[in-house]
Chain A
C-alpha cells in the first residue's frame, strides 16, 4: 500500500510541472491583452504623446492628481473616442472568441463559430429592417439598430433551437442542420429587404462588415450586462464541455444530461454573441480562429481553452482594430476585412501544417 502511495505521489510530482504550464499561458495571454490595449490607446489617426497619455489615464483614477499634458482636443479624443473603442474591441473580441470556443466544444466541430445557429443572419436581418424602415434612429438613449441586432440574433438562435429540437431531439448534428437552414432563410430575407431599400445599402453594408468606429462609453454600458454574465457562465462550463466531448452516450454514462448541458452552453454563447454583434456588427473569424490558437497553446481541454480564448480574443481584436485604423489612415478599413485577412491565411497555415504532419 505504501509502495503504491509512494509511486502515486511521485507520479503526481511528475505531473506538477505540466500543470503549471497552462497557468503560464493564461498569464501570458493576459499580458498580451494588456500590451494590445496599450498599443491601441497609444496609436491612432491623431498622434498623441505616449507619456502624456499614461499621465492622463492615471489622473482619472480617484485620488491621483497628475497634469496630463494633453490639449482639450487630444484629451477628448483619448477619453471619449479611443479608450472606449479599444475597450469595446477587447470586450467584443473576448466575447466572440469564448463563444466560438464553446460552440466548437458543444458541436465537437473545429469549424464551428459563434454565428453557426443563425445568430449572424438574424442580427443582420434585424439591423437591416431597422435601417430600412425605422423612422427614428434611437429609442431614448439606446440606438435602435443595436437593439434590433441583439433581438435578431437571439431570434435566429431561438428558431434554430426550436427547429432542431422539434426535428429530432438535441443531438448536435440536428441542431447544426437546423442552424444552417435558419441562417439561410434569414439571410435571404435580409437580402430581399436590402434590395428593396437600396438607398440604405451603404449603411447596411457598413454594419454587416463590422465597425467599431462609433464606439462610445454608452455602447460599453449596453453590452456589459449581457456579455459579462454570459462569459462567466461559459468560463465555468469548460469542464462540462470536456465531459460532452466524449459523446452523448458516454457523457450520459458519466452522469450528466448532455441535452441540457448543450442547451445551457448554447444559450450563454448566443447571448454573448448577440451582445457583441449588437454593438459591432458582424466581425468574422475571431470566433473561429482564436480558439484554435488557444488549443495549440494549452491543448484540447476546454477548461483551459475557454479562458485562454477569452484573453487572446480580446487582444486579437484590439490589434486588428489598430491595423484597421492605421493602415489607410485617416480612412478606416472595415474591421471584418482585417480579421478575414489575418484569419484566412492562418487557416491555410493550419491545414498545411496538419497535412504535413500526417
Chain B
C-alpha cells in the first residue's frame, strides 16, 4: 500500500513562457483531507487541473496510488476515480439536477436505456444529506448560486471518487450548508477516501483538514500538520501564504489636508450580495476594497458603474445625485469602470487595438466624428504612455499579452478625463512588470485629482497603493484601515474577521 494516494514531485507548468507552477511538491495520504492554500496566482488551480487531467505538466512527475501517471484527458483521470468539484460550474442549465449529476456517465438499463430509476435511487443519498429541499427534477437554471454549488458537490460525490479535489466548494454556501458538506467529507475520509480542499477561508480549512500545503509563486512554501490537535498557528500559516515580503518602497503618503469629496455612497444595497454599503472617495484619493473572495467587492463596483441593479441607497458625484440606471449615465457623469473580466467585459476581443483604445472617446465626444488623425494620435499616445507592446494599430487585441491588454482596458478611458475610476481587480493574472506599469498610471491619475475605488484580491497591492482600505464581509463594510498602517498579515486577519496579533 503506497504511502500516498497522490504524489506530485517538482511539478512545473508554463503557459507561453509564464510559469504558473515552478517545481511544486504535493502529497496526499489515503483517508485524509489536505488543505491547499495560497494567494491568487500561486498555482493552486493549475496544480489541481494537472492532478485531474485537464493539463499536462511541463515537467515533474505525478504518482497516483504509487504509479506514475500522465493523463491525456480528464476522462482518463475520471475513470481511475479522480474527481473534482469545479469552481466554474459544469452544469447544463436547461436540464434537471438529476440529469446533470450523471451527465456523461449515465447508468444504463437493459436495452441500453438510461436507467432513470437507478439514477433516482443513488442520487437521493447525497442530495438528501446536503440539500434535501432541492427536487431532483428541478431545472438547474432555477437554482441559486449556493444550490448550484451544492449540486456540483453532489455530482462529484455521486461518481464515487477515490481522490476528490474541491476547489472553493463553500464560497457560495451558508454556515449550515457548510457544516452538512463537512459532515459528508468526514464520512468519506472515514471510508478511506482522500480529498484536497482548496479555499481562502482559513477558519474552514482549520475545521476540516488534517494538514495544509501552502503554495506561493508556483512553489510549495511549506506544510502545516493539523492532525495533532492543539491550537493552530495562524501566524505561521499567514506567513507562509504571504511570504513576509518587504513592503515596496513606493507607499503612498496621503496628504493630510482635506480634499473635496468626489464620490459619496450611502446605504447602497442590492438585496442579494450588498447590504447598506456607505463610503466616500475624495479627490485624488485611492480607496481600496479588501475582503475574501466573493464578499461583494465586484458587485459593489458593478453597481456603482450602473451595470447591476440596486434596491436601496444614494450615490452622489461631486455633489450631484446620480441615478444608477445604466452605465451610460454613470459614464456621462464621469464615473467609469475597469471590469473584472477583460475578455468578456473589458475589451472587444476580435477588434483591433485602435478600435478598443478609442471607443469610449469616440462614442462620448460631442460634435462631428473626429478624423482618422485623431484616432491615430489618440491610439498612438495611449500605446506610448502605457508602454503597450503593439507594433501597429490594426493588431487585434487577442494578439496582446494579458498585461498589455489590461493596460488597454484601463487606458481607453483616459481621453474622457474621468472623475472617478472604479477598478475591479485590474492586476489579476498579469505579470509583475505590467502590474507595476499599470499602478504607475493609476497613481498618476490620482495625482491629477481622479478618485479611485480599487478592489484587488492581492492584499499587497492594496496596502502599497491605497490611502484607505475598506474591508467587505458578506456584502457589508466591516472595517476601515488607513493606508500604511497595516501590513499584509494584519489586513488578512481583518478580512478573516479574526483579531490581528499584536
Q: Do A and B bind each other?
A: no
B→A interface (CB under 8 Å): none
